[in-house]
Amino acid sequence: MNATTRLGLLGLAMALSACSVLENDKIDYKSATKGATLEVPPDLRQLSTDSRYVVPGGSVSAAAFEAGQAQRPVGKANAAPQTIGDVRIERDGNQRWLVVNRPADQLWEPVRDFWLENGFVYTTEQANLGLLETDWAENRAKLPQDIIRSTIGKIFDSVYSTGERDKFRTRLERGANGTTEIFVSHRGMIEVYSNTQKDTTVWQPRPADPELETEFLRRIMVKLGVSEEQSRAVAAAPAQVVPVARIANVGGAPAVQIDEPFDRAWRRVGLSLDRTGFTVEDRDRSQGVYFVRYVAPTDKKEPGFFGKLFNRSPDAVPPLKYRIVVRSEGNKSTVSVLNAAGAPESSDNAQRIVRVLADDLK
């Protein structure tokens, strides 16, 4: 079934059911695969047109992310922690994270089980880094729940697709005094027509959804023993604006400057790296360093952001290793890019990385 037929039937079903309601307030994820998929290098091109059983992309590079990233609110930060038992939620702007008064090794299994229970499978499980990343999945609760779907949906289930896919990265980081900080970051893709005839489609990035991140943090709180009512109460506070992130030139190299102390800057940069799809190989909070991989965009003119899922071109650009460094003096922090040897980087790649981080930190 081609893209036109599939999308057309979905449109017909929605049109015939005037009483259908999109249940956007519910979450019912179904992973696009039943097991781990192959790692797809960033910046590949072209996806299959029938996407119902195909997972969009892998890691999104800085170049791809720039095309779909939205602006963030700006202003003054205001963190507002709330505690229930040994779990508290903290917020800084539109970012939220959990602080749990338990060691990370006691939280790994329950957090790991949480995502499996919610319909996801993993592409990354690294207990030594406290890192879990799900495969792409579809929120089936966004589909129209009408009589047509209930009648023929089981037979023609591939007709019904939201045209959106989500994946989540969960990071457990050891904090002070035996606590553990839990971060959840979202990445999204959306299916769009690639030509005026509307007979083929491609997947492209869509902005991260902080509200979806907060909802899953709330559900993790419930998994860790907080009641539904309590978790909803502490997660309901509105997001607050955050300081502006500015691109600057520091010692001849591009950098991002933020009016925040180290702890907040470190957390915000970590979430930005997760949201924008960088592969974080290691981190050293005491030195303020994230060790990342980056794939530079190529000059090849091909449609779309991603390529064939399983066959990478032999002349594809290999990933490069960089260090993202957070340095702070008082309430001001500077985020800079170093090469693998630890020397300041001023290349085009460094400028792209700084621009992507600055856009997300806004």
| Top mean-pLDDT range of 60-74, 225-239, 245-259 | 245-259
pLDDT at 21 exceeding the cut of 90: no
Closest by CA to 183, choosing from 156, 210, 154, 143, is 210
How many whole angstroms from its chain centre is CA 341? 28
Residue range 216-236: mean pLDDT, rounded: 91
pTM above 0.85, yes or no: no
pLDDT at 221 exceeding the cut of 80: yes
What was the pLDDT predicted at 175?
83
Per-residue pLDDT of 305-334, as tens digits, reads: 344 333 444 455 678 999 999 999 999 999
Per-residue pLDDT of 85-120, as tens digits, reads: 899 998 877 788 999 999 999 999 999 999 999 999
What was the pLDDT predicted at 299?
52
Instruction: Choose between 125 and 50: higher pLDDT.
Output: 125
Residue range 168-197: mean pLDDT, rounded: 91
pLDDT at 49 exceeding the cut of 60: no
Integer-rounded Cα Rg, in Å, for the chain is 21
Handedness of CA 262, 323, 44, 57 (dihedral sign): negative
pLDDT at 130 exceeding the cut of 80: yes
Q: Are 169 and 274 in contact (CB under 8 A)?
A: yes
CA angle centred on 205, ends 192 and 326, rounded to 5°: 170
Task: State the chain's mean pLDDT as an integer.
Answer: 76
What was the pLDDT predicted at 241?
67
Closest by CA to 295, choosing from 38, 47, 57, is 57
Question: In the structure encoding, which two tokens stand for residue 294, read together?
Answer: 């980056």
pLDDT at 339 exceeding the cut of 50: yes
Handedness of CA 38, 40, 46, 52 (dihedral sign): positive
Name the pLDDT band for 160 (thresholds 50, 70, 90). low
Q: How many CB atoms lie within 10 A of CB 197?
A: 8
How far is residue 359's CA from residue 362's CA, in Å, rounded to a whole number? 5
Q: Which of 80-94, 142-156, 181-195, 284-298 shows the lowest mean pLDDT across its residues?
A: 142-156
| Top mean-pLDDT range of 19-28, 163-172, 301-310 | 163-172
Closest by CA to 192, choosing from 182, 181, 205, 183, is 205
What was the pLDDT predicted at 141?
79
CA atoms within 13 A on the CB side of 182: 31
Instruction: Name 289's Cβ contacts closer than 8 Å, sequence gap at least 6.
Output: 283, 323, 324, 325, 326
How far is residue 38's CA from residue 168's CA, in Å, rounded to a whole number? 17
Q: Are 200 and 49 in contact (CB under 8 A)?
A: yes
Question: In the structure encoding, which two tokens stand for residue 254, read together?
Answer: 């591009």
How far is residue 349's CA from residue 337's CA, in Å, rounded to a whole number? 9
Q: Is 320 helix (H, G, I), strand (E, B) or coil?
A: strand
Q: Are 80 and 91 in contact (CB under 8 A)?
A: yes
Per-residue pLDDT of 234-254, as tens digits, reads: 888 766 667 778 999 998 999
Cα–Cα distances in angstroms (integers) from residue 265 to residues 32, 125, 271, 298, in the given order: 34, 26, 10, 31
Cα–Cα distances in angstroms (integers) from residue 136 to residues 164, 187, 189, 323, in the given order: 10, 9, 9, 27
Question: In the structure encoding, which two tokens stand for residue 238, read together?
Answer: 């509105």
DSSP 8-state secondary structure symbol assigned to residue 79: -
Question: In the structure encoding, which two tokens stand for residue 351, read together?
Answer: 């400028």
Name the pLDDT band for 150 (thresholds 50, 70, 90). low
What was the pLDDT predicted at 26?
73
What was the pLDDT predicted at 317?
65
Residue range 128-151: mean pLDDT, rounded: 77
What was the pLDDT predicted at 250?
92
